[in-house]
Chains A and B, each alone.
Chain A
Amino acid sequence: MTWFLLGMAALAIAAVVRLVVPWRAGRPASLALVLAGCAAAGGTALRVLAGGPGVEWSFPTTLPGGPWLLRLDPLAAWFVVPIVIVGACGALFGSGTFARERRSGRVATTEAMMPILLGAMALVVTAQAVVPFLIAWETMAIAGLLLILHEGERVEVRRSALVYLVATHAATLALVAMFALWGSQSPDLTFPSLQASLRARPEWCLLVLPLGLLGFGIKAGMIPLHSWLPGAHSSAPSHVSAVLSGVMIKTGIYGLLRITLMAERVPAWWGWLLLGGGLLSGVLGVLWALAQHDLKRLLAYHSVENIGIILIGMGAGALGTASGQPLLAVLGYGGALLHTLNHALFKSLLFLGSGAVVHATGTREIDSLGGLARRMPWTWATFLIASVAIVGLPPLNGFVSEWTIAQALLAGSEGPASLRVLAISLAGLGLIGALALACFTKVDGVIFLGQPRSESARAAQEAGRGQRVPLVLVSALCLGIGLAPGVALAPALRVVASTAAVSSPPPAGALEPILAGALSVTGLGVALLSIIGLLVLVRRLLLARGRITIDSTWACGYPAVTSRMQYTAASFAAPLLGMFGAASGIVIERKARTVHTRPVDLVLDRAARPLWDRLQHAAGRLRWMQSGRLHWYLLYVLATLAILLGYLAAGGIR
């Protein structure tokens, strides 16, 4: 724990150094401190995951709520690892992006907030008492807000930040309500006491869990609570988006897991609720991603989709706990944990890659890009790895977690008849995968291949070395987990086994074939890559010197081909979106000579905003009360007082 706390201290000092010490010396010193802090915290977490003792630190306090407890148990350690990996890579990438930035004041704030955000997230997952948890939670939210506001001079950034602020505080409100109700049943506000009280009275799950789903669900960005996410994550600088999308939304997943595991035997409806929410988020998230024209908004919607996949796994796991099926519980939660890690890696890689693209071209419009593969080969190679990973295809890490979750869904068929229905969810996974493939062939094909669609894309230059290093590092991790799934799968299953998710271990020999299967996945990946290598070699032999002619693309004999004649991302997605009708969130604007499609967020633009407008309109009818004269307001105060006194006199509070 000492090393972990030293790491947190290093992060805090890094923020101070960045703000206080002048530009030249402050930047490298601060960056070095961030990296050292991440290394220290990550090292401790890895030791816990490798089977070392969980470490605990208690701080006696006179504040209500009992001692402040921090504990790095296996579950917390599992979340700390992606936080420090993505955090360190994001900070590295950011310092490369900001190297030539002019507005040094704004940059200093942004760079100082990054370690604060990382430290707060690490404390969120290690806090074992309500007060430090909520302090860390709010610090994380505010640091996130300041990071999103980096380009606060743009009006759409300010608007997204406002939506984010409202959403995150709604989440905190729900959590405060949850902890207040829950704490009324327990002697103090430490998690162990809360856990004991919930286990003593399982009927309180009916209150605690839905409030938790509201609070943590908003943070995780599950549909229909996701509306803040696309705007906020696309407005932030890309390396910040990588941290927000890669790990910050995972604190919501962490919270859901924590409260689910604190209830000893969760009710079955909770499992079905998570599963249903997961399927909804997964399918609609990827469908709405496909409809986007803005690269970073598209990636943000994909986070919603992947949160859905994680929730599917968690739902299966909760059903396993509820029905006493240890194999289902272990595989479901294990798959969810694994996908949390994998998504943190490939999503941060995608956002960092999009950062390189935006940095090089100055635009996020997919249809103004094109042909970047030849101009930015490193970015293209790493972006392609991340794309194949997010679609869930072998031999990359996304496949491993979807493989685990799919097995969980089938493991349900060994239990009671009602759990056989779980197998249907496989179709949901298939649909999500197919839509993700459509979305990422669109992104890869239109942005990186073909001809540039604008002058800025034509003039694009490869990212600098400071940006390439984190890109390559994270790609190596994606490929590593994809080729050797055992290194991540075995610890994930151990983490689940260490929790209360399974009252008894799975039947002997049930997990061995799956861990052995991880070895076969290695075999498959190696076979695949070697066959590709072999075929490329054969191709090179067949097409020896002089047998490849480089020429322009055939266009039915028309010589003056321009880049405008290429297929656009909008037309690529149109037929598929058309099949889903109004659910696809696309508005088609036809004019005399042009057709434009515009994506809308069905929840924010079609439900929340109109509802808000109605509320405002209704509130307008009470405007006569606000006369602006002091004596009227005094009268209101007096009247309120009288009503409250009357309530007390009638015996309102016993």
Chain B
Amino acid sequence: MNAAGLAPVLLLMGLAPLVQGLVHRTRALITGRRGIPLLQLYRDLWKLARKGTVVSRTSSGLFAALPSAVLAAAIGAALLAPLGPGGSVLRFPGDFVAFAGLLALSRYALILAGFESGSSFEGMGASREVTIATFAEPALFLCLAALALVTGGRDMSSLFGSPMARAPLLAPALILVAGSLFVLLLAETGQVPVDDPTTHLELTMIHEVIVLDLGGPDLGCVLYAASLKLTLLAALIAAVLVPPGPMHLPWMVAGVAAIAVVVGVVAGFSARIRLDRLPQFLTAAVVLASLALALTLR
């Protein structure tokens, strides 16, 4: 265990709501609105923490633990992500399987929390969520495989430990990996054009509709977990693209901010993709990752 790696994890965990705010603000500015304040999510979380909650009559005893599990799995993934100069907090061969597994566990708990209400809306959102994940998961593993072949590493710290600097000749493959991861980020964290976090129509929602019946601290957990996942994936993309030098942590934070702005720009310039066309968009992630892998196979 690498205790020194805990500091950057805590830093990014603290900044996560700000990253979400950056995305919203960029999108608002591009669409000609003033938008919500940058720090709005912090205020929302604070407000939610102090509120009570309404729990559905159909819920089982497990319900109390599900939003916590959503967040705990995301924090677990943060412990595996190489954010600081010394690599991740927990580092072992094949830890990327655990990283993907924890993101999936987070999704599992969220979907069960939705089903607890017995409402059709949640079932619908869950169904869409797993459909998207079916395309995202193979793409993620292809990206990881490509990075493993490029770097020869077996854990996330070496996979994302400046591959660009180590194998400059493979820059095209790495750019493809970053592109694939970017599409994954849009899908996993429910950004436009995959999902619209600000929509008000339940029938078109994906992520938002699963949490429709959550309130108070439960909703806070889920919202914060979503911003944490966004930050983690942005950090991974930044690590692929930017060769982190001695100024590792500032680089990483700047990279995350830049990715957040790009996500906001994409959201500002695009409309939501129709649900039945979504697989075609997500296939792009698979195709990009496959191309990257093909380039690294030689």
* Chain A interface residues (CB < 8 Å from chain B): 370-371, 373-374, 377, 380-381, 384, 388, 391-394, 399, 402-404, 406-407, 409-410, 413, 417, 420-421, 423-424, 426-431, 433-435, 437-438, 440-441, 444-446, 448-451, 513-514, 516-517, 519-521, 523-524, 527-528, 531-532, 535-536, 538-540, 542-543, 546-555, 563, 565-568, 571-576, 579
Quick check: B58 and A450 within 8 Å, CB to CB? yes
Quick check: B57 and A535 within 8 Å, CB to CB? no
Given A423-B293, A427-B142, A445–B279 Cβ distance below 8 Å?
A: no
Q: How far is the CA of A521 from the CA of B80 in the complex (A)?
A: 11
Minimal Cβ-Cβ distance residue in B for A554: B213
Q: How far is the CA of A399 from the CA of B104 in the complex (A)?
A: 12
Q: How far is the CA of A493 from the CA of B82 in the complex (A)?
A: 29
A423 is contacted by which of B60, B64, B133, B145 (Cβ under 8 Å)? B145
Q: How far is the CA of A448 from the CA of B112 in the complex (A)?
A: 10
B149 is contacted by which of A377, A413, A430, A563 (Cβ under 8 Å)? A413
Quick check: B213 and A420 within 8 Å, CB to CB? no
**How would residues 146 to 159 of chain B score, 1 for a CB under 8 Å from any chain A CB and 0 otherwise?**
10110010100000
**B-side contacts of A513, CB under 8 Å:** 92-93, 154
Given A446-B115, A535-B68, A579-B131, A567–B149 Cβ distance below 8 Å?
A: no
- Besides A426-B142, A441-B108, 19 other A-B contacts (C-beta < 8 A): A374-B60, A391-B104, A403-B94, A413-B148, A413-B149, A426-B144, A434-B130, A449-B116, A539-B217, A548-B52, A548-B54, A549-B52, A549-B55, A554-B213, A568-B123, A572-B126, A575-B127, A576-B131, A579-B279
The 4 A-B pairs of least Cβ separation, nearest first, read A567-B123, A445-B115, A517-B92, A450-B118
Quick check: B76 and A531 within 8 Å, CB to CB? yes
**B-side contacts of A527, CB under 8 Å:** 76, 79, 90
Q: How far is the CA of A406 from the CA of B99 in the complex (A)?
A: 13
Quick check: B57 and A434 within 8 Å, CB to CB? no
8 intermolecular pairs with C-beta atoms under 8 Å apart: A427-B145, A528-B102, A531-B72, A531-B75, A535-B72, A548-B52, A550-B54, A579-B134
Quick check: A392 and B64 within 8 Å, CB to CB? no
**B-side contacts of A548, CB under 8 Å:** 52-55
**A-side contacts of B40, CB under 8 Å:** none
**How would residues 184 to 226 of chain B score, 1 for a CB under 8 Å from any chain A CB and 0 otherwise?**
0000000000000000000000000000110011100100000
**How would residues 105 to 127 of chain B score, 1 for a CB under 8 Å from any chain A CB and 0 otherwise?**
10110011011111110111011
Point out which of A391, A402, A409, A552 has the most chain B C-beta atoms below 10 A from its C-beta. Answer: A552
Quick check: A539 and B62 within 8 Å, CB to CB? no
Quick check: B298 and A417 within 8 Å, CB to CB? yes
Point out which of A437, A527, A552, A555 has the most chain B C-beta atoms below 10 A from its C-beta. Answer: A437
**A-side contacts of B69, CB under 8 Å:** 532
**A-side contacts of B54, CB under 8 Å:** 548-551
Q: How far is the CB of A490 from chain B (nearest CB, A)?
A: 15
Minimal Cβ-Cβ distance residue in A for B218: A539
Q: How far is the CA of A536 from the CA of B213 in the complex (A)?
A: 18
Residues of B38-83 at the interface with A, using a CB-CB cut-off of 8 Å, are 49-58, 60-62, 64-65, 67-69, 71-73, 75-76, 79-80
Do most interface residues of chain B lie in helix, strand or loop, or is the interface mixed? helix
B119 is contacted by which of A370, A429, A543, A566 (Cβ under 8 Å)? A566
Q: How far is the CB of B4 from chain A (nearest CB, A)?
A: 16
Given A536-B68, A543-B217, A430–B123 Cβ distance below 8 Å?
A: no
* Chain B interface residues (CB < 8 Å from chain A): 1, 49-58, 60-62, 64-65, 67-69, 71-73, 75-76, 79-80, 90-95, 97-98, 100-102, 104-105, 107-108, 111-112, 114-120, 122-124, 126-128, 130-131, 133-134, 136-142, 144-146, 148-149, 152, 154, 212-213, 216-218, 221, 275, 279, 286, 289-290, 293, 297-298
Minimal Cβ-Cβ distance residue in B for A448: B60
A430 is contacted by which of B60, B73, B100 (Cβ under 8 Å)? B100
Quick check: B68 and A539 within 8 Å, CB to CB? yes
B123 is contacted by which of A393, A404, A550, A572 (Cβ under 8 Å)? A572
Quick check: B141 and A426 within 8 Å, CB to CB? yes
Quick check: B94 and A407 within 8 Å, CB to CB? yes
Given A391-B108, A566-B119, A573-B127, A528–B72 Cβ distance below 8 Å?
A: yes
Quick check: A520 and B138 within 8 Å, CB to CB? no
Given A406-B94, A535-B71, A548-B52, A424–B111 Cβ distance below 8 Å?
A: no
Q: How far is the CA of A391 from the CA of B130 in the complex (A)?
A: 13
Quick check: B115 and A450 within 8 Å, CB to CB? yes
Q: How far is the CA of A151 from the CA of B275 in the complex (A)?
A: 45
Q: How far is the CA of A183 from the CA of B19 in the complex (A)?
A: 69
A438 is contacted by which of B55, B97, B131 (Cβ under 8 Å)? B131
Given A524-B79, A543-B216, A445–B111 Cβ distance below 8 Å?
A: yes
Minimal Cβ-Cβ distance residue in A for B212: A554
Quick check: B116 and A434 within 8 Å, CB to CB? no
Q: How far is the CA of A410 from the CA of B97 in the complex (A)?
A: 12
Quick check: B56 and A532 within 8 Å, CB to CB? no
**A-side contacts of B97, CB under 8 Å:** 399, 402-403, 406-407
Q: How far is the CA of A226 from the CA of B116 in the complex (A)?
A: 35
